[in-house]
Amino acid sequence: MALTKTTEEIDSMRRGGALLSKALGAAVALVAPGVRLRELDAAAEKVILDGGGQPSFKGYKGHPDDTPFPSTVCISVDEEIVHGLGNRDRVLVEGEIVGLDIGLWLEGLCTDMAITVPVGKVNQALIDLMQVTRDSLMKGVEAARVGSAIKDISRAIEEHVKPHEYGIVRALVGHGVGHQVHEAPHVPNFVSSSYPYIEIQEGMCLALEPMVGLGGDPRIDTADDGWSILMRDGKPGAHFEVTIAITKEGGAEILTPLPV
């Protein structure tokens, strides 16, 4: 599978990204105390289907023997860092934070994005966590340039988070995207010799997604539902993600602008 996309493919991904951002925005607009997770999921799914797209997460299997993912949006609350089930009747509570991760297919290409938002009023520690995580994502976007390497993205994210003594999840990383939901290359949010040196090229499409835990412990566990990923220390975590394309000019274009 090609590491890069054609101009025409990126055009399709740009249209898909605009629709995806609209769908995520519809879900974010409903976030409030007393709202059920499945209501957020339904709102986002309607926008995708009405726009001619198809959810890329609903029915997804990481492995052939997995239970298919049951919802359009991964909705993760507090210590659920990613992959929370969006079809639950769980009611949002004031003071929580909720991550919404969403993907779609449009014109044969897929895009992916995520945001973490407060439920009503939240404490300052959670506001800081969300801001640092979002800012680290943007540092990664700035580092994604032709002639640089994937590790430069990783370093930019890690160096922004590290002074705050949060825990950067290491068992999950960003990835290539477009022809499949997850494709090469891996894009870790930390520098590690475990990952190969890969130079950034024009036409690469990457999903950057820092996942950061408030408690400083990067370790995670999988919940009994087989999908939801939990911070092992039980502390809240934040997750932000955009799909980018490396342009002819050498920099990165965000194909999935965050709605807020």
Each residue of 100-146: pLDDT tens digit? 999 999 999 999 999 999 999 999 999 999 999 999 999 999 999 99
Give the strand pairing for 242-246 and 73-77.
unpaired
Q: Bridge partners of 222?
A: 229
Determine the angle formed by the axes of helices 7-28 and 37-50, rounding to 10 degrees: 140
Cα angle, residue 38 at apex, residues 32 and 69 outer, rounded to 5°: 130
Kindly state the percentage of the chain with pLDDT values over 90. Answer: 95
Q: Is residue 247 part of a domain?
A: yes
pTM: 0.96
Q: Is residue 1 part of a domain?
A: no
Q: Confidence class of residue 166 from pLDDT cuts 50, 70 and 90? A: very high
Q: Is residue 260 part of a domain?
A: no
Domain of residue 117 covers: 7-254
| pLDDT tens-place string over residues 41-67 | 999 999 999 999 999 999 998 888 888
Widest CA span in the chain: 48
Count of C-beta atoms within a 10 Å radius of residue 186? 18
Q: Of 97, 90, 94, 106, give the one whose Cα is nearest residue 23.
A: 106
Distance CA 204, CA 146 (A): 9
Q: Which CATH number covers residue 208? A: 3.90.230.10
Kindly state the percentage of the chain with pLDDT values over 70. Answer: 100
* Domain tally, the chain: 1
pLDDT at residue 2 above 80?
no
In contact, 105 and 111? CB cutoff 8 Å? no
Q: Is residue 2 part of a domain?
A: no
Please tell me whether residue 185 adopts helix, strand or coil conformation.
strand
Q: What is the pLDDT of residue 1?
A: 55
In contact, 112 and 72? CB cutoff 8 Å? no
Q: Read off the pLDDT of each residue in 227-241 and give the average, rounded to a whole number.
A: 98
Quick one: DSSP state of residue 105? Answer: E
Distance CA 157, CA 140 (A): 5
Q: Is residue 165 part of a domain?
A: yes
Question: At residue 102, what are phi and psi to the nearest 5 degrees?
Answer: -145, 145
